[in-house]
Structure 1
Amino acid sequence: MGATHSRKTTLPAVFAFAVAAAALGAGPAAARDEPPAVGGGSGIVIDQRATCTLTTVGYDAAGRLVGLTAGHCGEPGAAVSAEAAPDQGVVGRFVRTNHELDYAVIAFDPDRISPVNRVGTLSIAGIGAPAQFPNVVCKKGRTTGSTCGVTWGDLAGPESRTWTQLCVLEGDSGAPIVVGSTLVGMVNAYYGVGCFGPEMGTDIHAVVADLNAGSEVGAGFRPI
């Protein structure tokens, strides 16, 4: 649950560290209280059981700190924790889920995370148009890490969907898909065998357009 869909035929440290920390005036308790860095490509845990990947984090028109991920990862009210910092507890909650486009909005507690635009080697500098064949796109998922592959296009499917040859497995759902540092989509599913069959994702411009069509949390979203 909350993992990347696989569809075969249909869519669907220890003492030295403590001494060093004390010398800096910060002990283990202070380290635990430091908000975790969270951004596109970060692993998230939903209701302490399902794992997914955050697409991106930013602010909406009302100045709320929000993030995006795949819609099948959770329903409104579901609790979100940072996989890399489980001791922090709940850092946000799902507030909106769109199953047609398969995306969701998470409202984060600004005191519980440090939003970032770079996670590992993947950075997000803005949002761009959908990738088309033969563009090479890359993604960072909490399961398979950073991988790249060619874009096949929409393959006569909905214009909001893009097929790629990205390697994805369960838990990569919501992973940001980028061209360079431009966010163009999110991972939603794979067909057949993971990391062999094609990946199907949702174009980020379709997600933003849907968000902006209303006045709910997330409207006017812009990545940090």
Structure 2
Amino acid sequence: MLVSRTALVFAAASAAALLGTATAAAQTDRTPPAIGGGSGILVDSRVGCTLTTIGRDSAQRLVGLTAGHCGEPGATVVVEGDPDGATAGRFVYSDHTLDYAVIEFDSARVTPVNQVGGTTITGLGGPALFPNVVCKRGSTSGTSCGVVWGDVRATATETWTQMCVMKGDSGAPVVVGSTLVGMVNAYLGVGCFGPEVGTNITSIMHDLNTRGEIGAGYQPL
């Protein structure tokens, strides 16, 4: 049976259209990667850090926090382990005094959660005091806990603890139960033998709200 060239062209165009529709549907059906306090993030596709927390600010923007030394405003954020490597958000503010940063996420590209591993964040609280025990969830070293030494340098903005922290854990949430009390910023030792130093979440919230920009009025999920 002979088939006209017009018919062949029409059939090819129809097949291409169906293929395009199927591809678009597959992309639409893709579940965005889950991300929450304790998730690993890649900054500008090269620097590995940990997200402290994710939630909404007073304008209902989806925002998160991490350590300030992880990136500068404009830096892109990819959820660690996302097979597509899609940009999920960008740094919008970075403070090098308190060492914290604000990330604004694209709600269509992530699935925000309040539990990562065994760490759940349901609220914000004041600094932990000696001899309390706090825990952190880092993307490199996972979950570890340790005794609180307190604000050794009397800065009123940081707390020292005896938790194991490694490279890539910067920004990791520090919790008492399900209450976020701080983030991991530095480790003053070799391996897991030196104290961890972190910024208190109350100091970060005060600065965020005083500035009144993206992140102000933040509340976790």
TM-score for the superposition, normalised by structure 2: 0.86
Of residues 197, 201, 220, the one that matches 1:200 is: 197
Shift of 1:170: 0.5
1:208-223 alignment to 2 at 5 Å? Answer: 208-223=205-220
Partner of 2:154: helix, strand, or coil? coil
Matched, 1:71 2:84: no
CA contact (8 A) 1:37 1:113 kept: yes
Q: Quote the residue 1:135 is aligned against.
A: 132
Shift of 1:157: 3.1
Shift of 1:206: 0.5
1:56-205 alignment to 2 at 5 Å? Answer: 56-205=53-202
Q: Distance in 2 between matches of 1:188 and 1:43?
A: 15
Partner of 1:159: helix, strand, or coil? coil
Matched, 1:36 2:33: yes
| Shift in CA distance, 141/28, structure 1 to aligned 2, threshold 3 Å | farther
Partner of 1:166: helix, strand, or coil? coil
CA contact (8 A) 1:35 1:88 kept: no
Residue by residue over 1:16-72, the C-alpha shift from the partner in whole angstroms, topping out at 9 and shown as x without a partner, is xxxxxxxxxxx9997872111100000000001000000000001111000000000
Q: Quote the residue 1:12 is aligned against.
A: none
Q: CA RMSD in A?
A: 1.6
Q: Distance in 2 between matches of 1:149 and 1:44?
A: 24
TM-score for the superposition, normalised by structure 1: 0.85
Aligned length in residues: 198
Report the more deviating stretch, 207-216 or 84-93. Answer: 84-93
Q: Distance in 2 between matches of 1:122 and 1:84?
A: 19
Code of the aligned partner of 2:153: A
Higher relative contact order (Cα pairs below 8 Å, separated by 6+ residues): 1
Shift of 1:195: 1.3
Q: Distance in 2 between matches of 1:28 and 1:202?
A: 45
Q: Distance in 2 between matches of 1:129 and 1:85?
A: 33
Code of the aligned partner of 1:202: T
Q: Distance in 1 between matches of 2:121 and 2:23?
A: 32
Q: Quote the residue 1:49 is aligned against.
A: 46
Q: Distance in 2 between matches of 1:165 and 1:31?
A: 47
Q: Percent of pairs identical after alignment?
A: 63
Q: Distance in 1 between matches of 2:49 and 2:217?
A: 24
Partner of 1:163: helix, strand, or coil? strand
| Shift in CA distance, 29/177, structure 1 to aligned 2, threshold 3 Å | farther
Shift of 1:194: 2.9
Q: Distance in 1 between matches of 2:130 and 2:25?
A: 49
Shift of 1:214: 1.7
Name whichever structure is richer in helix by fraction.
Answer: 2
Q: Distance in 2 between matches of 1:45 and 1:30?
A: 28
Shift of 1:192: 2.1
Report the more deviating stretch, 167-176 or 28-37. Answer: 28-37
Higher Rg of the two aligned structures? 2
